[in-house]
Each structure stands twice: as structure tokens, then as C-alpha cells.
Structure 1
Amino acid sequence: MQITFLGTSSGVPTRSRNVSSVALRLPQRAEIWLFDCGEGTQHQLLRSDLKVSQISRIFITHMHGDHIYGLMGLLASCGLAGNTDRIDLYGPADLDDYLRAGKKYSQTHFSYPVQVHTVSPGVVYEDSEFIVSCRSLKHRVPAFGYRVEEKDRPGRFDVEKATELGIPSGPLYGKLKRGETVTLPDGRQIQGSELCGETEIGRKFVYCTDTVYCDNAVELARDADVLIHEATFAHQDAQLAFDRLHSTSTMAAQVALSAGVKQLIMTHFSPRYAPGNAIMLDDLLEEARAIFPPTKLAYDFLTYDVPRRLPKELAKTAV
């Protein structure tokens, strides 16, 4: 899992920050999942190392323009490029109407299948490797946060040990890799767990924006390896945050602390904290770290590799 920030400003773009979009790259399956698609996202993709042809799923948090204005342009460009097989979209109920209107009035035709999935709290997508779920957040319009969970995988299969035990290669290896117990022709029973290393714990990625502090954000982020959370305002502007139903730096840190996440990355910053102003983004970082030290500030084109969790025995040694 590798995260790339394609836009980290709130409301409007600035000279150095585009509006909201985050790419989650899944190299093991040559796929990219986008979270939000603000205006100019396709330009940001072109400036990055990401391949537009690998985009397979786009998750929209809510229908405000700074999170969706880039969607029609990106989808149209994917069609003109002719190298996209299919894209699945996930988002609020109005997303399908928005796309239908955009296609109608711009006379756009997608040359590949585009499927819109209206989300509601719970699991929105699942396959053999991942589960994606969402929860409602607290904003001025219906908004959702997303959680991507990588399923646990069996540890490395010890082929040398299997050979020493006289286990013939073939279908039996597959059963043992899955942790099953097999019976050999000579009557011996072999447990798969005896030939596999520690289970690889799946990683957890959570994306929360736009929202004021709420319990659903905490539950969504529970035990996440990385939480991306909006921090539109500084702590001293908390009243603005409550009025506009956005988060402060301290709210984001409180969510991370309460949820027990491993890493917090703040994004969706108000342009009012640009360099040279009375309060700058480094001040927001300091506020958040006072509550939750493992906090980073996102910036456009920041990449972050979500680390794998150590097996239990190695984790104890590391401590």
C-alpha cells in the first residue's frame, strides 16, 4: 500500500496545493484507488508517477465541489485514452445523478463500463484481499469516511521443510498454505500451521474528510495503521470549525489518539494558514503533536508507504 496526496487544500486550490484527492496504490494487483477527485486531479496525476490506466475504483466522500469537480474530466480522459477497462465509483446518493447530468449536458460518452455504487454505513466493497467500509461523518451535507482493510495472509510457506517431510508438491501444498490439515499417503497428518510462518497482519487505511469531531470517525479509525484526517482550522479557530462542521488540528489528533492509530496525516488545510500569515501550518502540526506525537502534515505529491505489521514475536523483540 502506498498513499500519494494529489490535493491537500480545502475549498479552493492555492499556488502550491490542489483541492482534495488521495491515491492509494496497490502494487500487488497493479491498481489505484482514488479517494475524492477535486478539480485538477487529472493534471496532478500527470505530474505524479501514478498511471491513470491503473485507476479501478474511486470513492467519493461527499458532493461538495472541491471533492468532485475533477471527476467528469478524469473519467472522460480515461475514455479518450482508450486504456481503461472499467471504473467503479462509490459515494452518496446524488453521485449517480451528478454523473448522468454531466454526461448529458457535455455530450460525453464513456467508452468503458462505469458503475456507480450508492454507499450506506457498512461494507461497500469486498474481495479476496480487501474489505472497504464506510461510516457517516458530521458535515453540512451527507458525508462518509472510508476504511480499507487488507485481509490477513498466511505466513511464508516453508518449501524446504515440506520436502524434508516427504510431502509431494502439488495440490497438497496449496492446502497446507491455507493452514489446512492434510493426510499423506503413509497416514501421517500434517498441519499447515507447522509449515507456515507467522500470519501477516493486514494493514488498515482510513480517510476522514469533511467532518467536525464525531464518534463515527473514531470508530472508523480504530487501530488503523494510517489515518488521513482533515484539519481545516487551527485550534484557536475552533468556533469556525464548529460553525462550518470542519475539524481543527486538535480534533484530528483527538480522533487519532482515541482510535489508537499508528500514524496520523493531516490534510485539507484552509488557505488562511499560508506562509507569512500570523498562524501557519507548522503551528497546526505543533498543536496536533502535543496531543498525538506521530502526526505528519500532508503536502501535494507526498507519498507514504503503509508499513507491514511485524509478526507478534518480532514485534515483542522490537519493543
Structure 2
Amino acid sequence: MDLYFLGTNAGVPTLQRNVTSIALRLPEERRSFWMFDCGEGTQHQVLRSPLRLGKLEKLFITHLHGDHLFGLPGMLSSRGYQGGTAPLTIYGPPGLKAFLDISLSVSQSRIPYKLDIVEHSGGLIFEDDGFKVEAGLLDHRVDSYGYRVTEKDSPGSLNTELLLSYGLKPGPLYGRLKRGEDVLTDDGLLISAASVVNEPKRGRIVTILGDTRPCKGALPLAQDADLLLHEATFAHELAEMARQYHHSTARQAAELAREAGARGLLLTHFSSRYITPDDLAPLLEEAQAVFPNTQLAEEFRSFPVFRRR
């Protein structure tokens, strides 16, 4: 599981960076990915990436500003032309459905797959056997949400070497043991499931915040996250400007990561005043001074979400 970046700039695209879009690539057995925000030009970025729109399962919009939204109608249309037939669900704030209804109907765009639009105002917005997604309101000029993606714990693997030493070969009894049932072999040996099943795999937590000033609503979303993605529009020397424009500095993002007990912090949504890597270096330095395990997001690069023990 990893985060893959399609756009890391704030406000408008530049020659160096596109506007916001992030893919969360799910574990291999799921064979799909989720997307968070879809700024203008996202479908062009996808063409330069290993992603395939037919594998896009869910899309989450943090807020309805254009640099997070304007790429959506074109990408939805292209998904159909590129052979995408699986259902797609889009989650976002109220107003998202009206935007898409007008855009797609006026342009007479053909969507040859089932498209569900779920407007929400926070709380638990999705849950299945593998994941749950919670949303919380942040502090921006319009309603902006953060998303907390929690992977559920998975059963531990069987100690097959030990089972083979008992003379038990792969078969139906293996399945019963993995489900936690004790079994009695044909030889009269009682095998306790607890003795042959390894520890469960702890699920990972990824928090992706929309545009925001520092606020109380961000903390529960970021609590104990294995990877926290936070905007860092400005360096802290421009903290007053950040406050006026309802954005955050790199240091403020790091302060949240430290307070929340996150394991890793990724910074994104950089102002166009920071063009080169040298321009961005002070943002990384001020964040690492507060929270050492901080990285800068880069387009067309993946950042793994490691499983904690």
C-alpha cells in the first residue's frame, strides 16, 4: 500500500508541478486504487503514470475549489473511453453532485459505467471487510474535509512448517485453524489454533487532509496515523499570510504530526513561489526540526505506508 502523487502544487499548475491529486494504491489482493482530489490535468498525469483508470474504485474530493476538482469531468469521461466498466463511487461535500450533473449533462458526456456520487458532512462514510473511511471538517474558506483511511487487521498466517512437522498436510483443516478453530487429526492429535497461527497483521492508517489552517478537527483524523499527508502551502516565515488564506505552514503540519503521534509526515500543496528543490528545502528543514520523519511529496513518486508491529 502506498501513496502515489499526480499533483503537488497549490492554486494553479506550473511547469514543474500540477495541481492536487493523489492515488492510494491498495494491497495487491484488492487490485484497485483510490484517488483523493482531481485537479485540472489529472488525466494527463495518469497517462504518465503506472495507474490505469479502469482500476480506479473510489474517488474522494476534499473540497470544491477548482485546483482540487476541475479535472474530474474529463477524467470520468476518459475512464469510459479507456475501457473502464467497473462501478465508481465519488465522495465529497454538498455541491459535488450539482457540479458533476451540470458538467456531464451540458457536455453530453457518456459515462458507460455505474457512477455513484455520495455527498457527506463528515463521519463514517464507507466501510467494508477491509477498510473504513472517516471524514472530518477542517478550517478553510469553504467546507474542506480530511479523510482517515483505516485498514482493518488481518488474520495471522499459519505456521505451515510446524503443521507439517505434526504430519498435517495442506487441506480443509488448515482453513479451520486459520479461522481460530482447534482441530483433531486422524491420529488423535489435538492442535490448538492459537499455537499454529501467527500474530494478526495490524492494519495501517493513512490520513489525507484537505486545505486547512491549524484546527482542532485535524487531530482526531491524524491520531496515530502511519502516514499523514498535510498541506504546506508556505514556509513559517509567511505564517500570517497562511492564516489569511486559510492555509498552513510546513512547521504547523509538523506540529500536528507530533501532537497526533503519527509515524510519518508527507508535505504537499506547495505555493508556486517555491519552484525548485532548493526553494522547497527550507520547508522540509523547518518541518524536520519539529518532526524528523518528514518528507516532501514529489510527483510520479510513490511513498509506501509501512505496517507497524
Shorter chain as normaliser: what TM range? over 0.9
Q: Distance in 1 between matches of 2:3 and 2:110?
A: 30
Q: Percent identity, please.
A: 47
In structure 2, what is the equivalent of residue 252 of structure 1? 253
2:297 is aligned to: 298
Counterpart residue number, 1:146? 147
Gaps of 5+ in 2: none
User: 1:280 is paired with a residue of what secondary structure?
Assistant: helix
Gap regions ≥5 residues in structure 1 = 311-319
For 1:1-319, list aligned pairs within 5 A.
1-26=1-26, 27-165=28-166, 169-182=170-183, 189-275=190-276, 280-310=279-309
By how many angstroms is 1:175 displaced?
Answer: 2.7
Measure how far apart 1:184 and its partner are. 5.5
Q: Distance in 2 between matches of 1:281 and 1:163?
A: 55
Cα distance between partner residues in 2 of 1:174 and 1:270: 53
Q: 1:198 Cα deviation (Å)?
A: 2.0
SS at match of 2:270: coil
CA offset digits 1:173-216 (Å, max 9, x no partner): 22321333445677765432211112211111110120111122
CA RMSD of aligned residues (A): 1.9
Alpha-carbon distance in 2 for matches of 1:269, 1:93: 26
Corresponding residue SS for 1:283: helix
Q: 1:259 to 1:167 in 2, by over 3 A?
A: same
- SS of the residue corresponding to residue 230 of structure 2 reads strand
Structure 1 stretch displaced more, 82-91 or 225-234: 82-91
- Say if 2:62 and 2:146, in contact at 8 Å, map to a contact too: yes
Give the SS at the match of 2:9.
coil
- CA shift, 1:101, in A, is 0.7
The residue type paired with residue 227 of structure 1 is L
What TM-score comes out, normalization by structure 1 length?
0.91
SS state at 1:273 partner = coil
1:287 maps to a residue whose letter is E
Contact 1:82 1:111 in 2 (8 A): no
Partners of 2:276 and 2:197 lie apart in 1 by 53
Kept in 2: contact 1:225–1:261 (CA 8 A): yes
Provide the rounded CA distance (Å) in 1 between the counterparts of 2:93 and 2:122: 11
Moved more, 49-58 or 17-26: 49-58
CA deviations over 1:267-308 (Å, ceiling 9, x no partner) = 0011112249xx921111111111111111112112111122
Q: Report what 1:316 is aligned to.
A: none
